Structure 1
Amino acid sequence: MLTFPNAKINIGLNIIEKRPDGFHNIESVFYPVNWCDALEIVPAKQFHFQSSGLSIPGDQHSNLCIKAYHLLRNSQPRMAHNGAHFHLHKVIPMGAGLGGGSADGAFALKILNEIFELELSNTDLQKYARQLGSDCAFFIENRPVFCFHKGDEFEEFSLNLTGKFIILVNPAIHISTAEAYAGVYPKKAEIPLKEALKLPLDKWGGVIKNDFEENLLWKYPTIGATKKTLYEQGALYASMTGSGSTVYGIFETEKDLKAQFPDFALWQGYLN
Structure 2
Amino acid sequence: MLDFPNAKINLGLYITEKRPDGFHNLQSCFYPVRWCDALELLPAEELRFDMTGLPVPGNPETNLCLKAYKLLQQDYNLPPVHLHLHKVIPMGAGLGGGSADAAFTLRLLNQQFALNLSDEVLENYARQLGSDCAFFVQNKPVIATERGDVFTPVALDLSGYTCVVVYPGIHITTAEAYGSIKPQQPSCSMEMLLKQDVKVWKEVLKNDFEEALFPKYPELPQLKEQLYEAGATYAAMTGSGSAVYGLFKETPPNLVFPAHYAVWQGLL
Give the TM-score, by structure 2 length: 0.98
CA deviation string 1:141-199 (max 9, x = no partner): 00000110000000111111011111000000000000000110000012222211111
* Alignment of structure 1 residues 176-191 onto 2, 5 Å: 176-191=173-188
Deviation at 1:260, TM superposition (A): 3.9
SS of equivalent residue, structure 1 residue 94: coil
More displaced 10-residue stretch of structure 1: 261-270 or 83-92: 261-270
> Aligned partners of 2:131 and 2:38: how far apart in 1?
22
Structure 1 residue ranges without an equivalent (≥5):
none
SS of equivalent residue, structure 2 residue 136: helix
> Aligned partners of 2:199 and 2:111: how far apart in 1?
42
> Aligned partners of 1:30 and 1:197: how far apart in 2?
12
Partner of 2:157: 160
SS of equivalent residue, structure 1 residue 40: strand
SS of equivalent residue, structure 2 residue 250: coil
The answer on 1:250 being equivalent to 2:247 is yes
Partner of 2:57: 57
SS of equivalent residue, structure 1 residue 13: strand
> Aligned partners of 1:96 and 1:148: how far apart in 2?
20
Deviation at 1:206, TM superposition (A): 2.6
Deviation at 1:116, TM superposition (A): 1.2
The answer on 1:172 being equivalent to 2:143 is no
> Aligned partners of 2:253 and 2:106: how far apart in 1?
35
Partner of 1:196: 193
* Alignment of structure 1 residues 1-272 onto 2, 5 Å: 1-77=1-77, 79=78, 82-271=79-268
What letter corresponds to residue 260 of structure 2 in structure 1? D
**Runs of 4+ displaced beyond 3 Å:** 260-263
Give yes or no for contact 2:230–2:253 (8 Å, CA) kept in 1: no
Give yes or no for contact 1:43–1:115 (8 Å, CA) kept in 2: no
Identity %: 54
Deviation at 1:258, TM superposition (A): 4.1
Give yes or no for contact 1:4–1:39 (8 Å, CA) kept in 2: yes
Tell me how large the CA RMSD over aligned residues is. 1.0
Give yes or no for contact 1:44–1:83 (8 Å, CA) kept in 2: yes
Give yes or no for contact 1:13–1:29 (8 Å, CA) kept in 2: yes
Give yes or no for contact 1:236–1:252 (8 Å, CA) kept in 2: yes
Give the TM-score, by structure 1 length: 0.97
> Aligned partners of 1:190 and 1:257: how far apart in 2?
37
Deviation at 1:54, TM superposition (A): 0.1
Deviation at 1:62, TM superposition (A): 2.0
Deviation at 1:263, TM superposition (A): 3.3
> Aligned partners of 1:104 and 1:192: how far apart in 2?
30
What letter corresponds to residue 144 of structure 1 in structure 2? P
Deviation at 1:256, TM superposition (A): 4.3
Give yes or no for contact 2:6–2:32 (8 Å, CA) kept in 1: yes
> Aligned partners of 1:45 and 1:128: how far apart in 2?
25
Give yes or no for contact 1:258–1:266 (8 Å, CA) kept in 2: no
> Aligned partners of 2:151 and 2:197: how far apart in 1?
23
> Aligned partners of 1:150 and 1:140: how far apart in 2?
16
Structure 2 residue ranges without an equivalent (≥5):
none
Give yes or no for contact 2:92–2:172 (8 Å, CA) kept in 1: yes
Q: Label 1:51 to 1:258 Cα distance change in 2 as closer, same or farther (>3 A).
A: farther
